[in-house]
Amino acid sequence: KSKALAEPVNFNKSDIKDAIVRHLHCSLGTDENKANNHAWWKAACAAVQEQVLERLRRTQKSHYLNDTRAVHYFSAEFLMGRLMSNNLHNLGLFEITDQALQELGVSLTDIMEEEPDMALGNGGLGRLAACFIDSLATMELPAVGYGIHYEHGLFRQEIKNGAQIERPDSWRDYGNPWEICRPESIQEVSLYGYVETKYGENGRIQKEWHPGSIVKGIPWDIPVVGFGGKTVNVLRLWESQASNYFNWDVFNAGGYVDAQSENVQAETISKVLYPNDETEAGKELRLIQQYFFCACSLKDIIRRYKRAHGDDWSRFSDQVVIQLNDTHPAIAIPELMRILVDRAELGWDDAWEICSKTFAYTNHTLLPEALEKWPARMIEKILPRHLEIIYEINFRFMAEVEKMWPGDNKIKQKLSIIEEGNQKMVRMGNLSVIGSFAVNGVAEIHSKLVKKNLFPEFDQMWPDKLTNVTNGITPRRWLKACNPDLSALIDKKIGNDWPVKLEKLNDLVKFADEAKFQKDFMKIKLKNKVALAKEVKSLTGIEIDPKAIFDVQIKRLHEYKRQHLNLLHIMALYRRLLENPSYDMEPRVFIFGAKAAPGYKLAKDIIYAINMVAERINNDERVNKKLKVVFLPNYRVSLAEKMIPAADVSEQISTAGKEASGTGNMKLSLNGALTIGTMDGANIEIAEEVGEENIFIFGLTVEEVDKLHAQGYNPYDYYYNNAELKAILDWLETDYFTPGKPGALSSLKYSLLDGGDPYLVLADFDAYSKAQHKVDLAYRDTKNWARMAILNCARMGKFTSDRSIRDYVERIWKLDACKVDE
Ligand code: 26V
C-alpha cells in the first residue's frame, strides 16, 4: 500500500479532535452539548482550514521565490459544489476526521450535508473550471482562478404542481468557512465617462479615459487543495462595492444626472449569476460583470508581476498566460492593450506583441444563439476607450485579411470583429481568436467543427492556432469522494494511486470476467441505488425499486440535449404496457435532474411535461411495477454526487454536432453506468475507449444531420409514418396527463411538428427506441452487464482532467510544476 499518497505529516486523530473542539469553543462560542450539526460542520471546517492555510502559505512562498510562470484561468463561472469532503480527501484527512467526529458522537456524513453548494456556475463550463483548478493544484502547477464573487449563485429550483419556480440561492447566509477576504488587495475599476485626445510633446497622440464612475473590487480567496495536499492554489473571486469617487469632470460637462441615473449601482455588479446557459442575453449588467472581473484580475496580475520585474514589460508573456473560458472574459484583451498603450505608454506593436502572446481562448459551444455579440453603442457607453481599441485592433487585422485575400470584401465582412447592420455589433468570438495565440475546442469532433464551420478562414490564416483539448473530470470528486465503496474495492484490486494516475484503472480489465469481482462491483452499485432510492423517497415521496434499471439523464434542460426524446420514449413504453399488460420489459426507473433558464419557455414546458407524465405513470398501478419516472428538483453538484454512483444507464442523447463535449457522460461511465448516446461530443471518444460493444450508440451522425437539413427536413414525414410516434404526440394534446386541462402539454407537440423540430427529435426517435430495447435485453444478462459496467469504469483513464491539463500545459501554457517546500 503506497501510504505516502495523501498522508498528512504530524497530524493525527486526536489533533483533529482537539482542533474541532477548540473551534467549537473559541470560534463558534458554543460547546459539545449545545452544538447542532451546523455548528459541528463549521468547527470541522475551521479545523481543516488551519491545515489548508498553512499549505497555502508555503505554496505562495515557493511560487514567489521561484518566480514561476503561472496560468490565470479567467472564468465568469466556477461551479465548485461543496468543499468539505473534497478538502478532507485531498489532504488525506478523511478517515481520521470521520473517526475523530465519531468519538465526539457526531456523524461526518451528516454534518457534510450542512454545507451549501457553491453554485457559482450554470453547468458544464463552470464545472469544467472547477475540475481544472483541482487538477492544476494536484499536478503542482502554479495557477490562479479568477472569477466573480456572486452574492447569489444559480437559482434554487422548486417544483410546484409540476412546474419549475426559481428561488434565490443564498450560499453565504451563514458565512462561508472556506473563503478569506483580502482587503489589502482591493482594486478599483473605471466605468462610463469619455475619452480625451491629447497631443504629447513628441507629437504622439495620447488618450485619456475620464471615467464617470469607479467601483471597488474586493477579492475573496478560496483555497484550492491539490490531492496529496502539497500545493494549495487560490481561486480569487471579486465582489463589487461602491467607492467614494465622484467625477467632477463628468458633472461639469453636464452629464451628471445622465450618467448617474443610468449607471449601474456598484453593489449590483456581483449580485447575481446570469442563469442563461447557451443563450446570449445582451444585458448591460452582464457586460459590466465581465469587464469588472477582468479589470480587477489584470490589475492583480500586473501588481504581482511588477513586484518582481518593475517596469520591464519584456518578460510579461513569459510569466503570465491567461486562459479565457469562452468569450465571457474576452474584454480582457482590449483592457490589457489599454493598460499597455495608455498607461505604460508602449507603442501599439509592442503592446500587441505582448497581448497576443498572453491570451488563449477555449470555445465551448457552436450554437449561434450562444455566441456573444455586444452592441457597439453599449460598449461605447460603458467602456468608451475599449471600443476605440477594438476598432484599432480590427483596422489592423483587416489589413492582414486584405493581404491574404486582396479585394475580397465578403471575407472581410465575415472576419471583422464588427458586424455591420442597422445596429453595429462587436463579435467577441472573432476578437478572442484574433487576440489569442491558441484557440481550442473541447472534444475532437467539436474542435473539427470549430475549424470547419465556425472559424475556417481563421484556421487558414493561422494553421496552428486552432486545436483540440478534450475535456476531463477530476476523479477525486467524481469517484473517490462520491463513491467511497467502489473506490475501496478498486484500491483493493489495483492499489490506491489511481486518483492521480487514472490510466491505472485499466488494470481492472483483467477482472472484468471474474465472477467474484463482478458480484462485488454490482453489490456496490446496488448499495448506491438503495441509498438513492431513499433520497428519492425523502425528496419526492416516490418509492422506487433498487432492483429496477436506474436510467439517468442529468444536465441543463435544453432542446438540443433532447430530454423530450427521452420523455417520448417513456410515453411509448407506457403505451405499450397499457396496450399489452404482459409487454416484456425489465423494470425501469427514469430519473431526471435539470434546471431550465427562467426565460426559456419551452424548456420549462418540458420540465412540466416530465412531471405530469411522471405523476400519471407513478400512480397507475397497471404499470408502475415496471415503469416509474422521477424528476429530482434542484439538480446541482451535491445531488449529482448522489445520483451518479447509482446510475445503470447514462442518457447522452443530444443531436449530433450540438453538444460540444459533455462531461456528465464521463462521470457516469467512470461510475459504471452504460451510455446510451449519439455520435456527439465526447461520446465518440468514450465509445472509442470502451469499445462499441460496451456502449449503446444510435441515431444520425453529424453528416446525416447536415444532409437531412440540406434536403429539407419535414417532421410530419415521421409523424405520419410511425403510428406509435403519432399516437404519443397526439396523446400530449389530450388531458390524459393533465386532468381537466387539455392542451397543457401541446407546446411540446407544436415545437416538434409545426415548430419544425430543429433538433431532429422525431428523426431519431425510432433509432433511440430500438437502442433502448437493446439496453433492456442487455440488462437481463446480469453477468455481461456487470462486465460491461466494469469495462466502462476501467477504460475511463483518458477522461481525467489531469490529462486535459497536461494537454494544455504541453501544447498551450508551457508551464513547469513547482515543488512546494515542506
Ligand atoms: C452562455 C451564456 C450567455 C449569457 C448568459 C450566461 C451564459 C452562460 C454560459 C454560456 C455558454 C455556456 C456554454 C457551455 O456551458 N458549454 C458547455 O461546455 C462544457 C464544457 O466544455 C461542455 O462539456 C458542454 O458540452 C458545453 O455545452
Please tell me the predicted confidence (pLDDT) of residue 258. Answer: 54
The pLDDT of residue 196: 96
pLDDT, tens only, 627-683: 999 999 999 999 999 999 999 999 999 999 999 999 999 999 999 999 999 999 999
Return the pLDDT at 308.
95
Ligand 1 nearest-atom number relative to CA 370: 1
Report the nearest-CA residue for atom 9 of ligand 1. Answer: 277
- Is the model's pLDDT at 696 over the cut of 90? yes
Ligand 1 atom nearest to CA at 128: 20
> Which residue has its alpha carbon closest to ligand 1 atom 6?
276
- Asked if residue 246 has pLDDT above 90, the reply is no
**Where in the sequence numbering do the catalytic residues fall?**
364, 555-556, 561, 663, 667
pLDDT in tens, 724-749: 999 999 999 999 999 999 999 999 99
- The pLDDT, as a whole number, for residue 3 is 39
Q: What is the pTM of this model?
A: 0.97
Nearest to 91 by CA among 229, 259, 252, 184: 229
- Confidence at residue 821, expressed as pLDDT on a 0 to 100 scale: 82
Q: Can you tell me which atom of ligand 1 is nearest the CA of 471?
A: 21
pLDDT confidence tier of residue 260, bands split at 50, 70 and 90: low
* φ, ψ dihedrals at 149, nearest 5°: -90, 75
Q: Which of 532, 565, 561 is nearest to 546 (CA)?
A: 532
Residue 8 has pLDDT above 70, yes or no: no
d(CA 790, ligand 1 centre) in Å? 31
Rounded to an integer, what distance in angstroms lies between the CA atom of residue 772 and that of residue 318? 53
Q: Report the candidate in 364, 372, 537 with the shortest Cα–Cα distance to residue 449.
A: 364
Quote the ligand 1 centre to 442 CA distance (angstroms).
11
User: Mean pLDDT in the chain?
Assistant: 96
Residue nearest to atom 24 of ligand 1 (CA): 662
Ligand 1 centroid from CA 278, angstroms: 5
**Interval 207-227 mean pLDDT:** 96
Mutate to test the pocket of ligand 1, among 78, 120, 278, 667 (most ligand atoms within 8 A of CB): 278
* Percent of the chain whose pLDDT exceeds 70: 96
State which amino acid sits at residue 450.
V
pLDDT score, position 5: 45
Closest Cα partner for 712 from 757, 681, 747? 757
Look at the block and give the residue holding cell 470547419.
Answer: 452
C-alpha cell at 511: 477482472
What is the grid cell recorded at 710? 440540406
- DSSP letter assigned to residue 737: S
Mean pLDDT of the region 380-405: 98
CA distance 73 to 131: 12
Q: What is the DSSP string of 287-343?
A: HHHHHHHHHHHHHHHHHHHHHHHTT-GGGHHHHEEEEEESSTTTTHHHHHHHIIIII
Neighbouring C-beta atoms of residue 9, cutoff 10 Å:
8
Q: Which residue ranges form the domains of the chain, and what is each CATH number?
A: 1-54+90-115 (no CATH), 67-82+117-157+165-436 (3.40.50.2000), 482-799 (3.40.50.2000)
Q: Which amino acid is at 142?
A: P
> Whose CA is closest to atom 7 on ligand 1?
277
d(CA 164, CA 390): 41
> Of 74, 75, 122, 445, which is best to mutate to test ligand 1, by the most ligand atoms within 8 angstroms of its C-beta?
122
Q: Which residues line ligand 1 (CB under 6 A)?
A: 122-125, 128, 274, 276-281, 326, 364-365, 370, 442, 471, 659-663, 681
Arithmetic mean of pLDDT, 85-114: 98
Atom 1 in ligand 1: residue holding the nearest Cα: 278
| Ligand 1 atom, smallest distance to 281 CA | 4
Rounded alpha-carbon distances, angstroms, from residue 51 to 13, 55, 92, 181? 14, 7, 11, 18
